[in-house]
Structure 1
Amino acid sequence: MRLDNVTKTYGKGDNAVTALRGISLEVPRGTFTAVMGPSGSGKSTFLHCVAGLDRPTTGHVHLGDTELSGLKEAALTAIRRERIGYVFQAYNLMSALTVKQNVTLVARLADMAVDEAWLREVLARVGMSEHVGRRPNQLSGGQQQRVAIARALVTRPDALLADEPTGALDTRTSQEVLGLFRQIVDEMGQTVLMVTHDPVAASYADAVLFLADGQLAGQLNRPTPAQVAERMTHLGNW
């Protein structure tokens, strides 16, 4: 995925707020990238523009060879369903559905045939093969997040986007989920882009991008949690 000089402004005139200011970057296929920054730095807007949930005011967003910013809404909806996977802090599972039904929900809504062999592999990868008939209230938080990851993977997306995916989990479970992200990147070649506030979570990524005041404020490659925390400390004065 690639962003070319992306700017996003909300409102007009004296009430205008610019959330992103000329962001240009490329996220290589098959890599794990974390995005960090202080509150109000533009992280959520950045993720929404990459996902096609928000259109940039100026600039271009590309997913593979497809430019998202020029698509009509129906085409953009199809892209979001079929080529982008999402993992959220709050899991967003349907309480009335089983694990298997939750994992296949997006595919069924998009009227896509579910590859049963791939479904079994994805469920095995996330460690949920033995729980396909359970409902979310019968699962731990970590298990629910594993279901959400499986749901994001089952359509074989070009990119998996994660928004604070470990924010509601305890330390041990967070490490398990982050290790799973690392595994699907290394073993499946999946592209993962994760917004996080946690230096430990960011240290699992191949690269950490820092945002401040809507602008790119640096990058660290395979850093330690201490290096990430040190950089974040200085971002407040960026």
Structure 2
Amino acid sequence: MNQAAVRLRSVTRSYGTGDNAVTALDQVSLDIPRGTFTAVMGPSGSGKSTLLQCTAGLDRPTGGQVFLGETDLTRLSEKKLTLLRRRRIGFVFQAFNLLPALTAEQNVGLPLRLAGRRPRRSEVLNVLEQVGLRERAGHRPSEMSGGQQQRVALARALVTKPEVLFGDEPTGALDSTTSREVLTLLRTMVDRGQTVIMVTHDPVAASYADRVLFLADGKAQGELYAPTAEQVAQRMTALSAIPSKTSAVASC
């Protein structure tokens, strides 16, 4: 098996104190090999978005350790964590989060500018070409479809050549045809060596992954390799029958 891109060791995330404390993640340990596509699923309140946020360095766990490669994120200062996210991690969300006044080319180059580097036009156009939008480089978001905007967002996430690309419901706002296009792009990038971790509620989206990790009530509840949409749907039906203690506060 490939070296792990991400490792979680007994990761716990609790909110509140005393009798009002709720545990969104409960002693979760897992490895994500490099160059693989992992989907994270679970019923409402399972803690899957909390898992993504802790893994990506957007939130700090209450206990345990999170490693990106050999770097322990839990030991980093806020400043170093911010720099790490800019340089080594990419994000794609359900909302495209493109700046409306900027062209596709300018939106894609923005992470490099935030990192203090003037983007070369060739590298920006190259990543736009990877997502099939080189000819749209001069267009603003209002001049593109939802699927095209999400592909620009994907290019923006890839321009820094991140070690891991995180997706939080990246196809949630797209129709089924456009979703397939974006998922096929993600699958192609993984086949070329990119590591992708994606939270989703959609069994069809999860079927594009190499592995599906299931959560319920903040705990790991097994996994599927080379999943089909039908297998994922059946597992989700079973997990939904598990009462959730964290649904009131845990992100899903």
Q: TM-score, normalised by structure 1?
A: 0.98
CA RMSD across the alignment: 0.9
Which amino acid in structure 1 is aligned with residue 201 of structure 2? H
Query: 2:191 aligns to what?
Result: 186
Q: Give 1:116 shift.
A: 4.2
Spell out the pairing of 1:135-214 with structure 2 (5 A cutoff). Answer: 135-187=140-192, 189-214=193-218
Q: Give 1:95 shift.
A: 0.4
Q: Which runs of 5+ in 2 are unaligned?
A: 1-5, 243-252
Query: 1:232 aligns to what?
Result: 236
Are positions 1:107 and 2:112 aligned together?
yes
Q: For the Cα contact (< 8 Å) 2:105–2:125, is it kept in 1?
A: no
Are positions 1:123 and 2:128 aligned together?
yes
Matches of 1:196 and 1:128, distance apart in 2 = 25
Matches of 1:97 and 1:190, distance apart in 2 = 27
Query: 2:221 aligns to what?
Result: 217
Q: Give 1:91 shift.
A: 0.6
Q: TM-score, normalised by structure 2?
A: 0.92
Q: Give 1:119 shift.
A: 2.5
After superposition, the C-alpha distances for 1:20-71 in whole angstroms (9 at most, x for unaligned) are 0000000000100000000100011001001111101000000011110110
Are positions 1:88 and 2:93 aligned together?
yes
Query: Post-superposition, which runs of at least 4 consecutive aligned residues in structure 1 deviate over 6 A?
Result: none
Which amino acid in structure 2 is aligned with residue 221 of structure 1? Y
Matches of 2:28 and 2:144, distance apart in 1 = 40
After superposition, the C-alpha distances for 1:86-119 in whole angstroms (9 at most, x for unaligned) are 0000110000110011001111011134354433
- Count residues with an aligned counterpart: 237
Q: Which runs of 5+ in 1 are unaligned?
A: none
Same amino acid, percent of matched pairs:
64
Q: For the Cα contact (< 8 Å) 2:54–2:60, is it kept in 1?
A: yes
